[in-house]
Structure formats: structure tokens, C-alpha cells
Amino acid sequence: MDDQFTIQNFGDRVRQLRKVRGHSQEAFAHLADLDRTYVGGIERGERNPGLKVIIRIAETLDVPVADLFTAP
């Protein structure tokens, strides 16, 4: 069994939290001051965001950074 947290897990968690808050990908990207295609890439596990972007995502979702690293 592989207990590693992956980039895809991170993207799935961001998507889950975004949807719970009722944001479209476009609206969320605007609030986070990120490009919509970049947010889509994060959610699909194609992008590996840096710490500054991870913090911006957490702040926009109003969650502690650690909450982005729990399985959805």
C-alpha cells in the first residue's frame, strides 16, 4: 500500500474545497489572482505549485495550509 501524498491528491483536495465553497474554477482563480488554466492544471495534478501559490490557495479557501494536504 502506498501512503504517499501525491500532486493529484493535492489537486483533488483543492477541487473539493473549492466546490464546497461554491466557487467555479474561474471565480476561484480570480479570487486567488491565478490564471484559470493554472488552477485547472493544479486540480488535474498536472501542475506542482510552489509554496507562495499553496499559501495563496489556502488563504483564498480560508483553510490552514495543512488542510490542503489531507486526503479528500
Q: Would you list the domain boundaries of the chain?
A: 7-69
Residue matched to cell numbers 483533488: 12
The 10s digit of each residue's pLDDT in 16-66 is 999 999 999 999 999 999 999 999 999 999 999 999 999 999 999 999 999
Class of domain 7-69: mainly alpha
Please check whether residue 6 is in contact with residue 71, taking contact to mean a CB–CB distance below 8 angstroms: no
Q: Which residues contact 65 (CB under 8 A, 6 or more apart)?
A: 54, 55, 58
DSSP codes, 4-72 = ---HHHHHHHHHHHHHHTT--HHHHHHHHT--HHHHHHHHTT-----HHHHHHHHHHHTS-GGGGGS--
pTM: 0.92
Identify the band that residue 71 occupies on the pLDDT scale cut at 50, 70 and 90: confident
